[in-house]
Amino acid sequence: MTDETANNWDSAAYDDSHSFVYEYGSNVVALLDPAPGERVLDLGCGTGHLTARIEEMGADVVGLDQSAEMIETAREAHPEINFVRADARHVDLATFGERAPFDAVFSNAALHWIDEQDAVLDAVTDVLRPGGRFVAELGGSGNVGTIVNALSAEIDAREYDPPSEPWYFPTVGEHASTLEAHGFEVRYARLFDRPTELDDGANGLAAWLEMFGDRLFGSVPDDDRDSVVAAVEDRLRDDLYDDGTWTIDYRRLRFVAVLTE
Ligand code: BEZ
């Protein structure tokens, strides 16, 4: 994932310490259930682990991500797969030449980085064939709420400007309505809690904030950031840290939607 204005992506750290992102994503590949020969676009493919899994199942898959570093790592790891560096808000059929239209668009843990969901859905409807499916998982309403609240309280206590709405974490109703407004029929949608254990022991929360949390820090100056992180750890330790492991309150929204003919 993806929008380079959103976060600075370190693809090695992403693979080493945050592998849960694509490990949990295997369930979303199972929901996609790609058939051999199907044309699939993996939107926000990151380092390409799930793109490769879709390819192993026999589909003809293209991975797309906006981060140059993620795409470079994906190409090195999977030279046989076609990876495209592009902004999901601005792709169309011409971006993919003869490889499109696609039978399915797949996305794991990427859509919540993109504020302009209408632009993404315009792009998805353009590259998908009529009757094709959009299968995805993103953060859902309330996702990582304890972290957002603790950081907001700390930023408030230090009288910095708060961040604006950091991510797109919709309810089922909000997202289903947006999909319907773009011509999709929603066949399946579910919001569920998925408490997620972080790697890196006592450093897990700090490493997570370093990897994913840029948008949460508002106007905190760089030289106060470590101190803010330490204070947030203190605020959250009783609730989220146990036996050497941080477990954070992920909530996922998973859906299958079919583009009406
Ligand atoms: C998520 O995958 O749920 C997530 C990613 C980045 C920031 C917050 C949540």
Instruction: Report strand pairing: 60-65 vs 102-108.
Output: unpaired
Query: What's the whole-number mean pLDDT along residues 129-151?
Result: 97
**Percent of the chain scored above 70 by pLDDT?**
95
Residue that is written with structure tokens 């843990």 in the block = 109
Task: Locate the ligand 1 atom nearest the alpha carbon of residue 213 and give its number.
Answer: 7
Nearest protein Cα to ligand 1, atom 5: 212
Find out whether the beta carbon of 2 lies less than 6 Å from any atom of ligand 1: no
Sign of the four-CA dihedral 77, 87, 9, 57: negative
Domain residue extents for the chain: 11-143+167-198+249-259
User: Where does 179-228 show beta strands of DSSP type E?
Assistant: 184-197
Q: Could you give the 3-state DSSP secondary structure of residue 196?
A: strand
pLDDT at 7: 61
Q: Could you give the 3-state DSSP secondary structure of residue 77?
A: helix
Find out whether the beta carbon of 139 lies less than 6 Å from any atom of ligand 1: yes
Q: Which of 87, 99, 208 is nearest to 144 (CA)?
A: 208
pLDDT in tens, 219-236: 999 999 999 999 999 999
Residue that is written with structure tokens 């450093």 in the block = 203
Is the pLDDT assigned to residue 2 strictly greater than 80?
Answer: no
Domain spanning 11-143+167-198+249-259: which CATH class is it, in words? Answer: alpha beta
Q: Lowest mean pLDDT of 64-68, 140-144, 159-163, 183-187, name the range.
A: 159-163
pLDDT in tens, 81-125: 999 999 999 999 999 999 999 999 999 999 999 999 999 999 999
Instruction: Measure Cα distances from 8 to 3, 104, 213, 234 in Å.
Output: 9, 29, 10, 25
The chain-wide mean pLDDT, for the chain, equals 94
Find out whether the beta carbon of 250 lies less than 6 Å from any atom of ligand 1: yes
pTM to 2 decimals?
0.92
pLDDT in tens, 15-50: 776 778 778 888 999 999 999 999 999 999 999 999
Return the exposure string of 79-101: e unless at least 16 CB atoms fall within 10 Å of the residue's CB, then b. eebebebbbbbebeeebbeebbe
CA of 217 to the centre of ligand 1 (A): 15
Find out whether the beta carbon of 176 lies less than 6 Å from any atom of ligand 1: no
**Two tokens, residue 33:** 């259930």
Q: How far apart are CA 175 and CA 99, in angstroms?
A: 28
Nearest protein Cα to ligand 1, atom 4: 139
CA of 144 to the centre of ligand 1 (A): 7
